[in-house]
């Protein structure tokens, strides 16, 4: 792999894929212990049902009810296994990636709901409308462990480790995009209990969907109406708008003109790239320094760490790749040291958002925090 990073493939006891990614400057040896646990069979693939009023697909993934919620540190399921802790990762690692045991989208196994595998769908099928439509939720959900340490986030990583995680995003995007039935790949990090995180261990996830997501469908509509150079024009507009918070040779981060959340930052590459697989060495290397700086700045806004969702939007696998550009959407509901924004009636029910903080004011605060972090 590029930059001296090494990838090692393995299997978990129930057949799920496991990948170790060793840092370029790793101190680990090449050998890893096997997973010797006795595990229950994998749950059947979730079923997804269409909401005919919106066209959106809802995955019914009952196995997610079995997830571990805020376990004690000696039962951390993302820490390396010990005789006392039969975790998901058999051995020590720099970065580890494995298939989620209870995925929202998974391989074509028997349905949890009906016991039968509904017919898999294609892109044309998922965009059609009908009452009572049900399909198999084929896809993939992977967990990305940023570190064997039990506390932290992407923002606390050193440059070498951040570079390894970025390589993971690129490698997994390329491989997951090639899986049958996958239409879009989404890397993201949830951080903080206020976001709904159930594990404090520093980690992210990657979802591979069997359809183009609603947010991306809106972006495709915007690009169709305004032109395939839409993201280039947005970037030019934002760089001239006084809301830039961090800028490099290849990336710019800014508070968007119409920010919804009290803390919201977008980051775009300076050239058109549809997904992480299309980034080059220079872009990945710079991102490994800029992204932790941005996240540390967001944490520096208040005395305690800031909850956030770091969402990396990528173009779908088969459509819109000349128009939709890879970009980060970092959002947090934190509107004060001890205040959170809860999307309630207007936002949750109607999608009619009300911003609490003017974007220019938020940009000034975040810019200062990034500079001091």
Active-site residue list:
203
Task: Read off φ and ψ for residue 139, nearest 5 degrees.
Answer: 160, -145
Stretch (H or E) spanning 340:
strand 339-340
Number of Cβ atoms within 10 Å of the Cβ of 212: 21
For residues 118 and 170, what is the distance between their CA atoms, to the nearest angstrom?
31
Q: First and final CA of the chain: distance in angstroms?
A: 32
Question: Residue 151 corresponds to which tokens in the numbers above?
Answer: 């506390």
Burial of 86 (0-12, 13-18, 19+ CB in 10 A): middle
For residues 263 and 165, what is the distance between their CA atoms, to the nearest angstrom?
24
277 backbone φψ class: left, alpha, beta (φ>0; ψ -120 to 50): alpha
């Amino acid at each position: 792999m590029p930059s001296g990073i090494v990838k090692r493939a393995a299997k978990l006891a129930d057949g799920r894929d496991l990948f170790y990614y060793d840092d370029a400057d790793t101190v680990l040896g090449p050998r890893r212990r096997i997973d010797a646990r006795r595990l229950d069979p994998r749950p059947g693939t979730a079923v997804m049902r269409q909401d005919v009023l919106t066209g959106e697909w809802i995955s019914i993934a009952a196995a997610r009810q079995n997830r571990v919620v805020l376990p004690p540190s000696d039962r951390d399921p993302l820490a390396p296994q010990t005789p006392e802790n039969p975790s998901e990762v058999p051995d020590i690692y720099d970065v580890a990636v494995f298939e989620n045991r209870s995925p929202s989208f998974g391989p074509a196994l028997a349905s949890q709901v009906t016991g039968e595998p509904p017919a898999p769908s294609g892109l044309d099928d998922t965009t059609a409308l009908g009452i009572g439509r049900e399909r198999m939720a084929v896809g993939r959900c992977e967990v990305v462990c940023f570190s064997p340490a039990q506390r932290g986030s992407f923002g606390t990583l050193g440059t070498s480790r951040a570079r390894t995680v970025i390589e993971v995003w690129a490698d997994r995007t390329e491989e997951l995009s090639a899986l049958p039935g996958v239409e879009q790949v989404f890397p993201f990090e949830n951080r903080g209990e206020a976001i709904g995180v159930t594990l404090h261990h520093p980690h992210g996830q990657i979802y591979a969907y069997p359809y183009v997501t609603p947010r991306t469908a809106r972006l495709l509509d915007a690009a169709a109406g305004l032109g395939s150079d839409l993201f280039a024009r947005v970037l030019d507009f934002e760089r001239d708008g006084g809301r830039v918070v961090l800028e490099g040779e290849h990336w710019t981060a800014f508070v968007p003109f119409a920010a919804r959340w009290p803390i919201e930052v977008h980051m775009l590459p300076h050239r058109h790239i549809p997904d992480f697989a299309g980034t080059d060495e220079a872009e990945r290397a710079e991102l490994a320094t800029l992204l932790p700086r941005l996240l540390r700045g967001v944490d520096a806004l208040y005395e305690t760490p800031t909850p956030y969702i770091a969402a990396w939007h990528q173009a779908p696998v088969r459509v819109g790749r000349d128009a939709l550009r890879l970009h980060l959407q970092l959002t947090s509901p934190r509107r004060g040291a001890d205040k959170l924004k809860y999307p309630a009636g207007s936002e949750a029910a109607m999608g009619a958002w009300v911003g609490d903080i003017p974007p220019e004011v938020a940009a000034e605060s975040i810019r200062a925090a990034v500079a001091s972090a």
